[in-house]
Amino acid sequence: MNGLDRRTLLKGMGVTAAAGLWLPPSADALGLPANDKIKAIHYYEGPGSQPMVNQSANVIVIETESGLKGIGEGGEPRTMEECANSLIGLDPFRIDAHWQRMVRGMHYVAGREKLHSLGGLDLAMWDLKAKALGVPVWQLLGGKSRDHVELYSTGFRGPQGGSIVDAAKACKEAGFRVYRFSTDNRTGVVDRFKLVRETYERCLQVQAAVGDGYWSIDFHTEFDPADAVRLAAMMDKADLHPYFVEDLIRSENWSAYRTIRPLTAVPIAVGEQFGYRWDMNKLMEEHLINYIRVMLPNCGGLTEYMKIVSMAETHYVGLIPHFTGPIAEAALVHACTATSVPALMEMLGDGTRAYPHLIKGYDFRNGKLWPNDRPGLGVEVDFTKLKKIAEYNKYSMGMPLNKRPDGSYTQW
């Protein structure tokens, strides 16, 4: 009997968990199958995935001995192999412990590309656990703190032949909170003075068209610091009010924002090229940014993302996660639903893009994403539309991890 059937039976008998009187506090008492183990992990090529390792939309399925299945997304075969093999035969419900194993169990702590694989597995474990309990993931994360998640649109197209102003107006009318455009002109050559001037002129036009906070600009890491500061200062002087200004400079050296932050008042958003919380903790602690843009599964999954959310709240930093694949986007809705930290998710275009392999995905309407009551992440996949690229069903672990007397992991 799976957890959902068992819980339904008990409810029919008039017995509820809230009574606190039945069964000991074990996994079984919570409605989860006792002594279940991860049997296999199936890996599928995500249709339309980006060619970069850290932008993959490959689909992951974790299967247990009792027949439970959880769906995740992300990664690439080599790092997925290491992470997936380390989970075979283990309790599928000890999500945080498995996150620690995958991050710390291969001598080097996981780098950003490997975080994408283990983050996809983490999504699948959350999906599996919530399905076993018959609840949406946002319930396990604390319940609803907002009714819907507001969006900004990247690449929103207005009327054919229209201007950037027409696109911005159409985006606002479609219900999106923010129209986002960028400095990236895709010519391959950056004329720094020309690009600064042209970008500034576009900012003036869009501000006049849609008003305070209904637009944002991505500097796309194209500028050297002097030009980034100059453009931001021009926006300050003109009293422009973007919702955020993204990635003023390259992301390798976070401490450069110590120099930039005092020179402009624009709301700064960075982080789409970051991984877990150690990549960004100083930016938050020193109040150098206003929004963090780290995403799922890149940071290491929901387990890590919710810790980043807590850190953001502590330092009054908002969430503006970059988009990834559609299953990870669905997971982000759960994460954002379960926190009251200011949040704005990214959507490509007008939100009508179809994913042939998804029977159900995220719930989009009126320029917003809406939490739903479907169990788990709320996604359903047509696997006949996918190509299987790997299956992992034999346990292996690079290095033995030590445990403290209480059973928690420490270093190897």
Confidence of residue 3 (pLDDT cuts 50, 70, 90): very low
Confidence of residue 26 (pLDDT cuts 50, 70, 90): low
Candidates 275, 267, 234, 285; CA nearest to 251 is 275
23 three-state secondary structure:
coil
**399 CB-contact burial (10 Å; exposed 0-12 / middle 13-18 / buried 19+):** exposed
Across the beta sheet with 387-392, the strand order is: 69-73, 59-64, 38-45, 387-392
pLDDT tens profile 99-133: 999 998 887 788 889 999 999 999 999 999 999 99
Backbone angles phi, psi at 258, to 5 degrees: -65, -30
Tell me the average pLDDT of the chain.
91
Strand partners, 246: 218, 269
Task: Please say if the pLDDT value at position 216 is more than 90.
Answer: yes
387 three-state secondary structure:
strand
Backbone angles phi, psi at 292, to 5 degrees: -110, 135
> In this structure, what is the dihedral angle of CA atoms 341, 347, 352, 358, given to the nearest 10 degrees?
-80
Round to whole Å and give the CA distance between 371 and 184: 33
The pLDDT of residue 331 is 98
The pLDDT of residue 18 is 42
- Nearest-5° Cα angle at 230, 211 to 272: 70
DSSP string, 192-241: HHHHHHHHHHHHHHHHHHH-TTSEEEE-TT-S-HHHHHHHHHHHHHTT--
CA distances from 320 to 295, 305, 336 (A): 8, 12, 10
Task: Please say if the pLDDT value at position 5 is more than 60.
Answer: no
Round to whole Å and give the CA distance between 168 and 181: 9
Residue type at position 352: T
Dihedral (CA of 119, 122, 126, 132) sign: positive
pLDDT tens profile 346-401: 999 999 999 999 999 999 999 999 999 999 999 999 999 999 999 999 999 877 78
